[in-house]
Structure 1
Amino acid sequence: MTENTRLDASAYRAAEQLMRNNRGDLVHGAKVRPHWIDGGARFWYTVTTGAGRRFVLADPEAGTREPAFDHERLAAALTRASGQEADASALPLSALEFGPGTVSFRTGDGLRWTCALDTYACTPAEAAPPAGFMEPASPDGRHAVFLREHNLWLRSAGDGRERALTADGEADLAYGLSPFSPTVLLNKLGLPGLPPAVAWSPDSTRLLTHRTDQRRVRRTHLVRPMPEDGGEPALVTQRFAFPGDEHLPEGRLVVIDIATGRAVPAESTLPMPLMSPISTGHAWWAEDGTAVYFLQNTRDLRTLWLKRLDPATGEVTTLVTETGPTRVEPAQFGRPMVKVLSSGEVLWYSQRDGWGHLYLYGGPSERQITSGEWAVREILHVDEAERVVYFVAAGLIAEDPYRRSVCRAALDGSGFARITGDDLDHDVTVAAGKEYFIDSASTTNLPPVISVRGWDGAVRVELERADISRLLATGWSAPERFRAKAADGVTDVYGIVYKPHGFDPRRTYPVIDHPYPGPHANRVSAAFDSGILGHEAEPIPALGFVVIALDGRGTPGRDKAFHDYSYQNYQVAGGMEDHVAALRQLAGTRPWMDLDRVGIFGLSGGGFATVRAMADFPDVYKVGVAEAGNHDNRFYHAGWGEAYDGPDYVRSSNVEAADRIRGKLLLIHGGSDDNVHPHHTLRLAERLIALDKDVDMFIIPGAEHAFVGYEHQVSRRRWDYLVRNLLGLEPPEDYRITPTAIDLEMLAELFG
């Protein structure tokens, strides 16, 4: 093996720097996660700077942003008080609380301290253990609720006393249980599962939950070949309904008075095929606690109801009904856009005119509030006194219809205006008290500027300007946003293209497509942060590839017809024919793109799209790496498959399309994947073997769906495969990616 036939290790080192878990070291000041204090009047957050991790206190009313304390003095004081060395650049503090002249916090060892900000004397503070992820706390902080043996229990924050709230829960008929839980992943974090699905009433006196009935739901099985205790293989059994099954999980909403223990069940049940409606925002308390509202679909998703539950009697009444010829959704993605006002009027999202807009029901007259060839993406705030709704919309910026703007409109349909008047993408977090919002403004090639804005759009205080100098030092360059025509020659589709590191326009480069077909999520972000999916693709240009990604027809974020292209048509894999059309258009003006060397890779739905592209367009896609793909939705979640595939699941089965695959294909799957079970990949491999086709496969016995803890091995195998089969080079000899800690920020994003 000569050096001329092996890729230099510097390419892998640069790519490794760009992996998702390392990105926080490369981009500083790009995110603000607020921790509200004083009811949202102020907040604190952390930011990484050249000096390390810093705690910042923001007061929007005063227009100030300042260090929450003197980090060096606090570190020295904490070192003296605790006897443990505290590093001012990496203080292990959480759960900060600010009092008159003091700050209290919890340290990494679980102890709580109070520090006087005039003398910086730190003293131990008495505090109950934190409720934590598994124990949702009441709004007043006095109680937390948790699961024990299929029942809900209450713990007092003051004295730690526990008592049962329910006593009749049982296996497969449990309280607060989500039908699906990524148990393998959560177990890696030391958690038994998801926390109980509950919503506290605003006054902290009652709980909304549901009793989850899975007694007649199909059982499926996994085998853990080597359990954590090292013993014999263990059988893992799940309740897991397939599309078309007669029985799906269902739930009965229940309201529990925590003082008396009285439980009031709803008079009817609702289908709950995949997730808890409480966890997904499909069931919620009225702001005054007088009612519970919830959304319910028919199984074919063509009818959507808004219903009211009387928490005192369990009576259920219907407030709004909408029926359509295809899916009727309360949002194309994300949380529902439905709000019941104190007047009893209902602010309702609908795509009935072909675009996602807001309607008002129940007032003096029912009316459409917003209209036009653009889409409402999120309701931010309703000022009922002023009769104004504030919301996020996309499609108002001609350059990029995915960029989001903050807008307002009167509830009578008049007075529409954009609050953010620039052409940037705006990612918004509304303050706990609704007085203002935190705005992160960026584009795919412009780093974010984060500020606090009032509802008039005026900046109250600037918080951060992202520093990407370390990112640029890796050889990274911002992607180019492009527009192309879809395969129909009419519809515009949008994407991004990354040039390889050390780009030379006189050379030609192989091309990698990185798809995600939705139909519930976009692959490409309009913001600077490329998101969880995008972070998997960003290292690839360092290896010497052009990388493209785009959102073809069938993905969300545009008009209803664009999204409905995938309705009962999942086999188009998010418009892979649009990807092919875009590739050819891009190469027509970019001769450095070598369309004789095109590869593709993706995870989950992206793994499905990878294989489908190789089957449908074998003359285009020559090499693929398909990771944890749902290759046969006949055997996937009913709640997902029935929403986004079917009813003819054979058409979208990659197993049935295996005879058309001609290129080099690597299949990767976690052997303990309790979401997309590993048999999806094994079925495809079995069919390829039966067809006497070559197949490469990498099964990681202990890995779940996101390969948490195995990212370094999956990435290296992916890179090696693409380098060998598209660059025609051997990977660097004996190169190993350094394992990283579990990406808690990514998990927080996944679990909300």
Structure 2
Amino acid sequence: MEHKATISVLAVVMALATTSPVSAADKTPLQTTGALVPDCAVQPRWSPGGGIVYARSGEWHLFDPEKGTTAPAAAPAPTAPSRTFKREFWFAGPLDVDELAAPDGSAFASVHDFNVRVRAASGGPARTLTTDGIGDVSWDIGPFAAEGWSPDGSLLFALRYDRSNVFKAPQVRYPGQNEELVMVRQQKAGQPLDRAQPFLLPVAGGEPLRLDVGDTNDRYFVPLGWTTDSTELLFAAINRTFNRIEVLAAGRTGHVRTVMTETGQSFVRMQHEVLFPMSYGFTMLPDGFLWESERDGWNQLYHYDLNGRLVRKLTSSAFPVDEVARFDARSRTVYFTGSRDPERPYDRHLYSVSLDGGTVRQLTDGKGRHDIRFSADGALFIDSYSTVNTPPRHLVRDTDGRIVGTILEADTTQLSATGRPLPEELRLKAADGKTDLYGVLYKPDGFDPGKRYPLVEYVYGGPQLRLTPDRFCPAPGWSSFPQALAQRGYLVLILDARGTPGRSKRFHDAVMGNWGGHVVADHRAALLQLAGERPYIDLARTGVMGRSWGGHFALRLLAEAPDVYKAAVSIVPSFDARAGILYEPYLGLPATNPAVYDEATIFRLAPKVNGPLLLVGTTLDTSTLVDVMKMTDALIDADKKFDLLIFPEQEHQILGHDLDYLQNRIEDFFASALRPE
């Protein structure tokens, strides 16, 4: 079996090499709409002196919000490079991360030789705070979405991990003459997790304070915030399926008390936002905390005191809070982002509400996603916003939402001169015929509605993020590729099916126990509806591409909706639901729900793949490379033709020249499969 698979993979690689792609030198460069707007990349920010600085056309400017004037400015001083240390990440092995700075900047914490150490910013040797870390039993200090240091710098939250029972997967490195074998821990669905014991470490020296949290099996622990006097740390204990969170408080002696518990029929926090720290839905206050909860069907803000007593619910109605942007202790005002417009549920505005209750006020206007940056004193904020077809505006507002000044607006002269069609926002129906889905359609230069065009859909489908763009200027790299691909003569569609975040809990919970059915059905139904309304869409030439879980659904759409999707590109995909813990909050555990895991594992679909397929893997993304190899074997067993492309020394994010190469190969693939004119 091993010999057969090796020969088969070589045969597929050789078959790919015999194609005749157009060389990169023969192609005109791809440009997004944003690339034709010189000011798209401008990101105004507050300067230490209270002004607003930004770079435009290679020159720096300073906007004075009091005078409303702009003047040339010197470039900000470069930030001193941070020291880094190796930290073990979920599924990826050791990666470089920045040291963790004390609140006053006087010290930096890191992990070295499996133990925590602290060095003074002023110099001198580092001091080791733990001594018993070695091998599979090691210490860690994050990164976390909240500060692990106490405000006075005397204590540090740390975890002592026992990883001895976690499966290790082989990873081959190719750094030079001799290959290197690295074993990377892979937390698989239903199998042992890293077992973490939380501690407080006295920075001045002394024994680590073990926090008594009971059984640590199948639990995640993260710091949430310290009281201002450094007497207590609030931290969270989250169960394996993320449907139970305990907020705990640890005193300076190590004593732990329970503050509150939140449970749900489904996940109460998004696993990705905890494991790859972005947000815990928690904001520390001087006399309590703000807690985000979807218990009434929408993400809302709740004010609790430090004993876990609910003081009041601050927001309500059928719209979700996105995140807390700031709390002003003097006025007791909470500023948060969200959207209250049922016609544009993915727009993001800034709102305010008193901690003492009252009316929610909207502080921004204008369609789109508003990115907010408050001044140091909180009296003003930068409001930068755009839509996919409206260029950016950058304003300064006060805390009542009044416009204090206009920093700049994007110059669209060059874009207008090209006549390029702007992206079109879409609203289509899900497979249930009732639920609205939102998306974006990109059209090629010289678009003629009297012609017929091939269409490529860019899909994700996983429950961790929304894929549809909401800004005029795409980020450089892969994010800009789907829009740029339209220049090659394609329509490019991006939309989000049920089961993705950013709307109601019910919309998100479509993924519970149903990994793929609703995604396939929604994308197929939406595209058929769009094609029925737009005769210029050629359904005989429709392809799909996706990365990560988008790679899963790209292949799945090709196999399960062949009447619509004729070709697919599947990049660093997950095909085996049992291969990782990322499915657990949505499918439960394999031992409890084996049939659900069987449905979400799609090697069984290989015989149904009847159109052109490009599989893309990377050698350092260990878990997805295994899935690519297993799908390769399944496709060979089914006697299916397909292309295989493997990137050595790349991880889940394909970067640099390798990304350019991948995009060129995708262009070649769709040019052959869909034949754009």
Q: TM-score, normalised by structure 2?
A: 0.85
Shift of the alpha carbon at 1:588?
2.2
Question: What secondary structure sits across from 1:658 in the alignment?
Answer: helix
Shift of the alpha carbon at 1:144?
1.9
Shift of the alpha carbon at 1:412?
4.3
Shift of the alpha carbon at 1:160?
4.1
Task: Tell me, yes or no, if the aligned pair for 1:430 and 1:437 is still in contact at 8 Å.
Answer: yes
Code of the residue aligned with 1:258 in structure 2: it is V
- Structure 2 counterpart of 1:319: 259
Counterpart pick for 1:222 among 159, 171, 191: 171
Task: Tell me, yes or no, if the aligned pair for 1:403 and 1:527 is still in contact at 8 Å.
Answer: no
Shift of the alpha carbon at 1:330?
7.1
CA distance in 2, matches of 1:174, 1:155: 19
Question: What secondary structure sits across from 2:108 in the alignment?
Answer: strand
CA distance in 1, matches of 2:270, 2:664: 40
Residues 351 and 723 of structure 1, relative CA distance in 2, 3 Å threshold: same
Task: Tell me, yes or no, if the aligned pair for 1:374 and 1:558 is still in contact at 8 Å.
Answer: yes
Does residue 156 (structure 1) correspond to residue 120 (structure 2)? The answer is yes
Code of the residue aligned with 1:166 in structure 2: it is T
Counterpart pick for 2:512 among 533, 551, 567: 567
Task: Tell me, yes or no, if the aligned pair for 1:256 and 1:262 is still in contact at 8 Å.
Answer: yes
Does residue 695 (structure 1) correspond to residue 637 (structure 2)? The answer is no
Shift of the alpha carbon at 1:524?
0.9
Counterpart pick for 2:584 among 611, 625, 642: 642
Counterpart pick for 1:358 among 301, 304, 310: 301
> What's the CA shift string for 1:71-93, capped at 9, x where partnerless?
7xxxxxxxxxxxxxxxxxxx9x5
Question: What secondary structure sits across from 2:599 in the alignment?
Answer: coil
Does residue 404 (structure 1) correspond to residue 348 (structure 2)? The answer is yes
What does 1:116-515 correspond to in 2, within 5 Å? 134-176=98-140, 199-224=148-173, 227-231=174-178, 233-245=179-191, 247-268=192-213, 283-310=224-251, 312-329=252-269, 334-344=278-288, 346-362=289-305, 366-394=311-339, 396-467=340-411, 477-515=421-459
Code of the residue aligned with 1:516 in structure 2: it is Y
Task: Tell me, yes or no, if the aligned pair for 1:437 and 1:454 is still in contact at 8 Å.
Answer: yes
Q: Extract unaligned runs of 5+ from structure 2.
A: 1-19, 83-95
Code of the residue aligned with 2:295 in structure 1: it is R
Code of the residue aligned with 1:309 in structure 2: it is A
- Structure 2 counterpart of 1:94: 78
Shift of the alpha carbon at 1:255?
2.3
Code of the residue aligned with 1:511 in structure 2: it is L
CA distance in 2, matches of 1:277, 1:449: 41
Task: Tell me, yes or no, if the aligned pair for 2:168 and 2:183 is still in contact at 8 Å.
Answer: yes
Task: Tell me, yes or no, if the aligned pair for 1:330 and 1:337 is still in contact at 8 Å.
Answer: no
Does residue 28 (structure 1) correspond to residue 39 (structure 2)? The answer is yes
Question: What secondary structure sits across from 1:207 in the alignment?
Answer: strand
Task: Tell me, yes or no, if the aligned pair for 2:42 and 2:54 is still in contact at 8 Å.
Answer: no
Does residue 668 (structure 1) correspond to residue 632 (structure 2)? The answer is no
Code of the residue aligned with 1:360 in structure 2: it is H
Question: What secondary structure sits across from 1:668 in the alignment?
Answer: strand
Code of the residue aligned with 2:78 in structure 1: it is S
Shift of the alpha carbon at 1:56?
4.2
Shift of the alpha carbon at 1:549?
0.5
Does residue 651 (structure 1) correspond to residue 603 (structure 2)? The answer is no
CA distance in 1, matches of 2:217, 2:583: 14
Name which of structure 1's ranges 208-217 and 460-469 shifts more when overlaid on structure 2.
460-469
Shift of the alpha carbon at 1:726?
0.3
CA distance in 2, matches of 1:656, 1:503: 40
CA distance in 2, matches of 1:377, 1:495: 19
Shift of the alpha carbon at 1:533?
5.8
> What's the CA shift string for 1:377-412, capped at 9, x where partnerless?
111223344343221112x22431100111122334
Residues 430 and 204 of structure 1, relative CA distance in 2, 3 Å threshold: farther
CA distance in 1, matches of 2:472, 2:319: 22
> What's the CA shift string for 1:256-301, capped at 9, x where partnerless?
2322355323222786989x865xxx53333442321122222222
- Structure 2 counterpart of 1:712: 660
CA distance in 2, matches of 1:172, 1:433: 46
Does residue 47 (structure 1) correspond to residue 58 (structure 2)? The answer is no
CA distance in 1, matches of 2:389, 2:221: 37
Counterpart pick for 1:13 among 28, 38, 44: 28
CA distance in 2, matches of 1:698, 1:273: 37
Question: What secondary structure sits across from 1:548 in the alignment?
Answer: strand
- Structure 1 counterpart of 2:630: 683
Residues 248 and 107 of structure 1, relative CA distance in 2, 3 Å threshold: closer
Code of the residue aligned with 1:293 in structure 2: it is L
> What's the CA shift string for 1:610-645, capped at 9, x where partnerless?
011112101111100101001112112x1x121234
- Structure 2 counterpart of 1:735: none
RMSD: 3.2
Name which of structure 1's ranges 263-272 and 650-659 shifts more when overlaid on structure 2.
263-272
What does 1:571-610 correspond to in 2, within 5 Å? 571-572=516-517, 575-610=519-554
Task: Tell me, yes or no, if the aligned pair for 1:250 and 1:273 is still in contact at 8 Å.
Answer: yes
Name which of structure 1's ranges 366-375 and 452-461 shifts more when overlaid on structure 2.
452-461
Task: Tell me, yes or no, if the aligned pair for 1:520 and 1:555 is still in contact at 8 Å.
Answer: yes
Question: What secondary structure sits across from 1:677 in the alignment?
Answer: helix
CA distance in 2, matches of 1:8, 1:237: 37
Task: Tell me, yes or no, if the aligned pair for 2:539 and 2:564 is still in contact at 8 Å.
Answer: yes
Question: What secondary structure sits across from 2:157 in the alignment?
Answer: strand
CA distance in 1, matches of 2:247, 2:361: 29
CA distance in 2, matches of 1:342, 1:197: 16
Code of the residue aligned with 2:101 in structure 1: it is A
CA distance in 2, matches of 1:722, 1:320: 53
Shift of the alpha carbon at 1:59?
5.7
Question: What secondary structure sits across from 1:651 in the alignment?
Answer: helix
Q: Extract unaligned runs of 5+ from structure 1.
A: 72-90, 96-105, 109-131, 179-193, 730-752
Q: TM-score, normalised by structure 1?
A: 0.77
Residues 462 and 296 of structure 1, relative CA distance in 2, 3 Å threshold: farther
Residues 251 and 542 of structure 1, relative CA distance in 2, 3 Å threshold: same
Residues 33 and 229 of structure 1, relative CA distance in 2, 3 Å threshold: farther
Shift of the alpha carbon at 1:683?
0.6
CA distance in 2, matches of 1:259, 1:527: 47
Shift of the alpha carbon at 1:462?
3.3
Code of the residue aligned with 1:265 in structure 2: it is R
Residues 290 and 60 of structure 1, relative CA distance in 2, 3 Å threshold: farther
Code of the residue aligned with 2:73 in structure 1: it is A
Question: What secondary structure sits across from 1:482 in the alignment?
Answer: strand
CA distance in 1, matches of 2:24, 2:489: 12
CA distance in 1, matches of 2:505, 2:147: 33
Task: Tell me, yes or no, if the aligned pair for 2:235 and 2:247 is still in contact at 8 Å.
Answer: yes
Code of the residue aligned with 1:298 in structure 2: it is N
CA distance in 2, matches of 1:601, 1:148: 41
